[in-house]
Structure 1
Amino acid sequence: MSAATPADGKAWRVFHGTGAVPDAGPVSLPEAPPWRRFRGGPTLPPPWDDEEAAGRRLGQVEPVPQLDETSIDTINAALQLRRPLLVTGPPGVGKSTLAYLIARELRLGRVLEWSIVSRTNLRDGLYAYDALGRAQSITAWRVGEPGSPGSYAVDAGPSQLLPTLGDFITLGPLGTALLPYDRPRVLLVDELDKSDIDLPNDLLHVLENGSYDVPELVRDKHDTMIVHTSDPGMRAEVRNGRVECREFPVVVITSNGEREFPAAFRRRCLPLEMATPSRAQLLAVLSNHFRALPPDAEALVDLFLERAASGGTHSLDQLLNAVQLTTANGLQNDDATRRLVEMLLRDLSKGL
C-alpha cells in the first residue's frame, strides 16, 4: 500500500471496492492479529490469476467504487481481523461477485468456489478420497499391469511402482484455501443457507483453527505425501496428514437469508448485507461489461430499479441480459422488443 493517504482519507483501507488492479503490484496486506497467525508449511508458490473467470463476473473494471462506504469498511475490517465475511441479501445483487472483486483488486489469484447444496458436508469442502480407484490401481499393480500411478518403488523391483495414497486424494476448495500460501487465497462459499443444519457448526473448528487433518494420511506410514488440489493440474505436499494455513484465506460466505445461522457461527464472521445496487453503481457495472454505456442503458436501469422497488425478486443478470438484447444488431425498438424486455425483467419470485 502506498504511504500516501488515499483520496478517501482512510489510510487503513487496503481494499477500495473498485476491482482495479494496482499499477504498483500486489497490495501489502496488514499483519494478522496475534490470535489469527498460523505456521503452516512448506510454503506453496502463489496461484495464478484466472482473469477469464474474473472477466465474466466483473467485465473490464473501471477504477470507480462499486460498493457503498459501509460495505467497503466492513470488508477491510474482515481483512484486518482475518475473519470470514457473511454476505446476505436477495438473490442476484452481486454477493458471489464480491469474491472476484476482492481477488482482482488485491491480486490474490484464482478464486476457489465451494457451491453448497442440501447434501454438502464438511468433508466435501476439505478433501475427497477415491478409495475405489485406489483399490483398482493396487489390483492392477499386483497383476503387473503397466501404467499404474505411483511415486515410490517396492521390493518387487524399481520398475514396478506401487500406487501412492496421495494419488487418490484431492483437496476441496476449503481444503485448498487452507494450504500454506504466503498470501491468502480467496474462498467463495456460495449459498450456505442451502446446507443441512449441521454444516455451519461443522465449519466452526476449521474457521477458528485454520487447519484440518486428513485421517487417511494421518494413518499412512509415510510422513509426507503429495496430493491433488482444487487448482487444475496442481499438487501440494502434506506432512503428517495435517494441513495448516500460513495466511488465513479471505472467506466470502453468501446467504440468501433463507435461514438463521447459529450464534457461535455468526460470532466468527463479519456480517455484510448487500442491497440492490444504486443507479450509479448499476451504470458503472454496465460500463464495465460493455466497455461503453449502450444508448438505452439509462432507461433500462431506471426500469430495473422501478421493478426492484415494487418488490419481488430481481437479479442484476436480468439487467445485463436486457441491455445485451436491446443493443444487438438488427433488433428493432418495437412492441416485440418491449415484450422481450418485460420478460427478461420479470419478477423471479412469481415463477414463469
Structure 2
Amino acid sequence: MSANEQAGPHWRVFQATGRVPETPPRLPQAPPWRRFRGGPPEAAPPDDPEAALRRLGRDDTTAQLGPDEIDVVNAALLLRRPLLVTGPPGIGKSTLAYLLSRELGLGRVLEWNIVSRTTLRDGLYDHDAMGRAQAINAWRAGAHHPADPVRRERGGDAGATEAAAGSAQSTTRRQLPPQVGDFITLGPLGTALLPYDRPRVLLVDELDKSDIDLPNDLLHVLENGSYDVPELVRDAVGEARVHTSDPARRALVRGGRVECAEFPVVVITSNGEREFPAAFRRRCLPLEMRPPSREQLLAIVHRHLELRSPRAEEIVDLYVQQVQAGGTHSLDQLLNAYHMATAGGFQVDGDGRTLMAMLLRDLAKGH
C-alpha cells in the first residue's frame, strides 16, 4: 500500500487557515526512506503564542495560500522534505513557518537567520571553548586547595560541627570537573533535529544571502537527519546534557550523535538573489509565493488589527496601486499605513498625505 493510500482522503492536514486546533492533527506516516531512529525521546517543545500573534495576528482568518500552494506544503509534510519558498521580499515567506506551527500545534518556531558569514556549524551547535578552559582552570585551582574556605576564615575549630555537616557534599561539588555539555549549545538546526515525538518547525530565513558553500554543506544533514558533535564524541562519559535553542531547556545527547525521530518541518526562504545547486534543489520542494489578492490583504489587515475601519479598503487600494506600479513593497508597510490611518485625527488626504507616501514608498529605491 502506498503512502498516499495509507494517508487516505485526509492527506491534506494543512489548510492555511492559521486556526489553533483543539487537538493537533496527526501527520501522515513518513515514507520508508524518510524514517529515522533518533533517541532518547525529548520532551514536547514549548509553545510561543506571543511570537505567533506578532507574526500572524488572530487565528480567525481565511486561507492566505491558493489550492496549488497548499498542496505543495502538504506534499512536503507527507514526504518529510524541506520547503524552498521564493518570492519578493516582504511578501510573507517566513510567516508560513508560523502558520504551519500554529495550525499543526508544533510549538515554538526555531529561527535560523542567514547572513553571508553563516556556516553550517552555526546552525548545528556552538562550543564555548574559552569558557570551558576557564572553568577547568578554576576547578584545578580549587582541587589543589580542598580545605573549606569557611572553616579557614573562622579559624581553628570554630564552626567545626557546621562545616562537617556539609563537608562531603561540598567537597564532591568542588572536585567534580566541568562537564563538556555545559559549554555546548545546539543551534536552531541542531535543536530541530533532536528526537521529538512530533516534528519541530525550523525557519531558515534568506538562505540566498549565505556563502556559496552553505547550501551544499546542508545536503548531508537534510538527507540523513543527523549530525555529530565532535567535542562530545571525544568525551569519555558517553552522554551529556547540552543547552538548546529553546530558552532554559536542555537535551540529552548520547555518544556525541544527534538524530531526529521525526524530520522537522523545514521552511527555507529565498528572495531569489542567486540560484542554488541542483543537488540542493532536488532535496527540496519549491513553493513560489505570489502577492496576496485585495481580499487577502483586507483579511491580513483585519487579522492583525482588531479595529475595523472604513479606511481599510482605501489604504489597501492605495497599497495595491503602489505594488502594481512596480518596485518592492512589504506587508509591514501596509500594516503601518493602516495603523496610522486609524489613529485619532490623522488625515490621509490632508496633512498626512506626505507621511502616507513615505510609509508606502518603494523599498527598492534605497531611501
Q: State the TM-score, normalizing by the size of structure 1.
A: 0.92
Counterpart secondary structure, 1:236: strand
What is the CA-CA distance between 1:166 and the residue it aligns to?
A: 0.2
The answer to whether 1:233 aligns with 2:248 is yes
- Structure 2: distance between partners of 1:127 and 1:200: 17
- Structure 2: distance between partners of 1:136 and 1:107: 42
- Alignment partner, residue 22 of structure 1: 21
Counterpart secondary structure, 1:158: helix
- Structure 2: distance between partners of 1:336 and 1:343: 13
* 1:66-77 matched pairs, under 5 angstroms: 66-77=64-75
The answer to whether 1:298 aligns with 2:313 is yes
The answer to whether 1:158 aligns with 2:172 is yes
Q: Is the 8 A contact 1:294 1:323 kept in 2?
A: no
Out of 284-293 and 256-265, give the one that drifted further.
284-293
> 1:304–1:79: structure 2 CA closer, same or farther, 3 Å change rule?
same
**Structure 2 unaligned regions, length at least 5:** 1-7, 147-169
- Structure 1: distance between partners of 2:32 and 2:349: 63
Which one of 51, 54, 59 corresponds to residue 52 of structure 2?
54
- Structure 2: distance between partners of 1:268 and 1:275: 22
Structure 1 residue runs of 4+, over 6 Å off? none
Which one of 115, 134, 137 corresponds to residue 135 of structure 2?
137
Amino acid at match of 1:340: L
Q: Is the 8 A contact 1:174 1:187 kept in 2?
A: yes
What is the CA-CA distance between 1:159 and the residue it aligns to?
A: 3.2
The answer to whether 1:286 aligns with 2:285 is no
Amino acid at match of 1:88: T
Count the aligned residue pairs.
Answer: 335
What is the CA-CA distance between 1:275 and the residue it aligns to?
A: 1.5
- Structure 2: distance between partners of 1:11 and 1:39: 26
The answer to whether 1:254 aligns with 2:269 is yes
- Alignment partner, residue 287 of structure 2: 272
What is the CA-CA distance between 1:332 and the residue it aligns to?
A: 3.1
What is the CA-CA distance between 1:67 and the residue it aligns to?
A: 1.1
- Structure 1: distance between partners of 2:177 and 2:310: 65
- Alignment partner, residue 357 of structure 2: 342
Q: Is the 8 A contact 1:58 1:97 kept in 2?
A: yes
- Alignment partner, residue 109 of structure 2: 111
* 1:103-252 matched pairs, under 5 angstroms: 103-144=101-142, 157-160=171-174, 161-252=176-267
What is the CA-CA distance between 1:177 and the residue it aligns to?
A: 0.1
What is the CA-CA distance between 1:291 and the residue it aligns to?
A: 1.8
Amino acid at match of 2:21: P
User: Which deviations, in whole Å up to 9, do the C-alpha atoms of 1:285-344 show, x marking residues without a partner?
Assistant: 111101243221111111111111111100000000000111112323443211111111
Q: Is the 8 A contact 1:20 1:63 kept in 2?
A: yes
Q: What CA RMSD, in Å, does the superposition of the two structures yield over aligned residues?
A: 1.7
Q: Is the 8 A contact 2:120 2:214 kept in 1?
A: yes
- Structure 2: distance between partners of 1:186 and 1:38: 17
- Alignment partner, residue 313 of structure 1: 328
Counterpart secondary structure, 1:336: coil
Q: Is the 8 A contact 2:113 2:205 kept in 1?
A: yes
- Structure 2: distance between partners of 1:307 and 1:276: 12
> 1:12–1:159: structure 2 CA closer, same or farther, 3 Å change rule?
closer
- Structure 2: distance between partners of 1:270 and 1:336: 48
Amino acid at match of 1:75: V
What is the CA-CA distance between 1:10 and the residue it aligns to?
A: 6.3
- Alignment partner, residue 338 of structure 2: 323
User: Which deviations, in whole Å up to 9, do the C-alpha atoms of 1:126-171 show, x marking residues without a partner?
Assistant: 000000000001111111199xxxxxxxxx9513121100000000
What is the CA-CA distance between 1:281 and the residue it aligns to?
A: 0.9
- Structure 1: distance between partners of 2:81 and 2:351: 50
Counterpart secondary structure, 2:336: helix
Amino acid at match of 2:117: R
Amino acid at match of 1:14: V
- Structure 2: distance between partners of 1:106 and 1:195: 29
What is the CA-CA distance between 1:50 and the residue it aligns to?
A: 0.2
Counterpart secondary structure, 2:132: helix
Which one of 59, 63, 66 corresponds to residue 65 of structure 1?
63
Out of 74-83 and 280-289, give the one that drifted further.
280-289
Counterpart secondary structure, 1:65: coil
User: Which deviations, in whole Å up to 9, do the C-alpha atoms of 1:33-67 show, x marking residues without a partner?
Assistant: 00000000000111111000000000112142111
Amino acid at match of 1:207: L
Amino acid at match of 1:248: F
